[in-house]
Every structure is written in C-alpha cells, then in structure tokens.
Amino acid sequence: MSKSIPFPFTITPEILSAVTHIESIAQKIDHLPITPVMIAKLRETARLQSVHYSTQIEGNRLSEEEIRRVIDYGEHIPNRERDGKDVKGYFAALDYLETLVRENAPVCEPAFQMIHALVMAGGTKKIKPSTYRDGQNVIREGIGGLIVYLPSEAKDVPILMANLIQFINESTDLPAPIKEGVPLNSL
C-alpha cells in the first residue's frame, strides 16, 4: 500500500462557507420538481457546452451550433475536420464517463487511460486504453499562438496520475468542489 498523500491545501472559513453554499444549492436543486424531459434537455445542454469549452481550450474553432450539428447529425464542417474529430472524441469520452458513473465503477488508471484514448480517437469507440503522453504539450492562445499554459513534463505524468487517483480514492469525506479544485501538480 502506498503512503497517504497529504492534502495540499487548508480549508479556510471562506472555503467552508462557499462549499456550504454550494451544498445548500445542490439540496434545493435535488428537491425541484424537474421532469425527465427537462433533465434530458439540461443534460444535453451541459454536454454540448462542456464539449464546446473544453475543446476550445485546445484550439478547437467550432461554434456551439457547429458542435451540435457534428454530434446530432454527424455533419462534417468544411476545413474543420480535425475540430470535428476532437468534438466526437470528447463526446465519446463523456458517454463512457457517464457509463462508469452509472455503474459506480472504481476510479482507476485504466478508466483514465480509456477516457484519454476515446478523446484522442476522434469518435472511434473500439479502442484500447492509451498510454500516457511521451512528449511535451503546450496550450496556446488561439489567435496569436502565445503559450498560455505549459503542463507537467511527460516523464512526470504517470506519478501525477497515480497520485490523483490515490487522492480521489482516499478523500471520500471531502466535498466534491474541494476535491475538484485541487491542482494535479500539487499532489
């Protein structure tokens, strides 16, 4: 068994107050009279916006409407084939993730590697879990190409992922907003 990972943060009164506020809103939402049709529409909107903004960070230039057409109708956007593949891959990964949640699957390395493989496969669903990257990535500004984020070096990714998985599995008593806000490189 590996050693326990220390929490890389302190829960201040401000953080506790914010988490309590989030939890109270979640409780109110849980008790709203929401129909299955409304839930389906909210889920679809959330998924499309998640795909749009998450792929946009990586340089994808499709609009929300174009993403909807790619996902709902399999449409090909001229001169944006790579962007369309990115969207399909991300959407396939979301489908897989929702399946894991429904099945209450454990948080483990093969699940993370399958999610990554689905994102990278551009919508192809018959794939195998992928290995971690072996080179340096950068996130660039869309217009000027300036580097806006430099992720951890490839050699550090396996241990960072192992630490993340361990942290998620060991911190079951922490509220989700706190767990989700912990930077990977601080573990």
Tell me the domain boundaries of the chain.
Answer: 55-131, 132-180
Alpha-carbon distance of 2 to 185, in angstroms, equals 18
Task: Give every CB contact of residue 65 below 8 A, 6+ residues apart in sequence.
Answer: none
State what percent of residues in the chain have pLDDT above 70.
93
User: In terms of Cα–Cα distance, which of 103, 151, 53, 59 is closest to 67?
Assistant: 53
Q: What pLDDT does 104 receive?
A: 93
DSSP H helix total and E strand total for the chain: 7, 2
User: In terms of Cα–Cα distance, which of 169, 164, 153, 96 is closest to 128?
Assistant: 96
Instruction: Compute the CA torsion angle 150, 154, 155, 157 (nearest 10 deg).
Output: 90
Q: What pLDDT does 75 receive?
A: 92
Alpha-carbon distance of 52 to 60, in angstroms, equals 8
Q: What is the sign, positive or negative, of the torsion defined by CA atoms of 56, 59, 64, 69?
A: negative
| pLDDT for 119 beyond 50 | yes
| pLDDT for 1 beyond 50 | no
| pLDDT for 13 beyond 60 | yes
Q: What pLDDT does 149 receive?
A: 84
- Cβ burial, residue 100 (10 Å; 0-12/13-18/19+): middle
Grade residue 164 by pLDDT with cuts at 50, 70 and 90.
confident
pTM of the model: 0.78
